[in-house]
Structure 1
């Protein structure tokens, strides 16, 4: 069984069931929510300071994965070496992924089925 690190501040009770049912990683969910609520982009270090239930390395790896999938965007140059990279949520990307997952779960045609 997959073990996930959990944020120090637990998810609201009404979301715990959905997290369990769909196998959502609570750290990723917490990262996305934190960035969505933040008035300014944040570095991985700033995120790790707020989400104290996971190590910096865990936060960093999740942020990198989310960014590579296009759900987070950064202010990084092509070569970010030595740069403090700040991240924010691409709200439309999140909405698009949730729509597609919902369609899949409900057996509806996916956008890729439509030729899009």
Structure 2
């Protein structure tokens, strides 16, 4: 992430790691596991997993997991439609519309 991106995220209170998780999933449309994302971002597994779960609850991320996930290899994918809709909502709000 460059300085311009860091400034933009800071201006709107966006978590850099959360943005990086979303970006990583956008770069891998077939999906990635939490471990793969953590390695790619050089972040802790726990941090990445927490953000993935929160993003999944918000509908921005889908997974192939069913039921109890313990011991499962879960692949996460970005829901681009939801991401685009939520980004549009933020811009609409910031524009005062």
Q: By the TM > 0.5 criterion, same fold?
A: yes
Q: When you count strand as a share of all residues, which structure comes out higher? A: 2
1:59-98 matches, within 5 Å, as 59-98=48-87
In 1: Cα distance, 2:2 partner to 2:77 partner = 22
1:55-106 deviations in whole A, cap 9, x for unaligned? Answer: 1111110111011110011011133232111001000000000011111111
1:88 to 1:81, Cα distance in 2 relative to 1, 3 A: same
What is the count of residue pairs matched by the alignment?
A: 97
Runs in 1 of length 4+ with deviation above 4 angstroms? none
Q: Which residue of 2 aligns with 1:106?
A: 95
Paired residues of 2:37 and 2:48 also in contact (CA < 8 A): yes
* Structure showing greater Rg: 1
SS of the residue 2:71 aligns to: coil
Shift of residue 39, structure 1, vs aligned partner: 4.6
For structure 1, the 5+ residue unaligned runs are 1-10, 109-116
Considering fraction of residues, name the structure with more helix.
Answer: 2
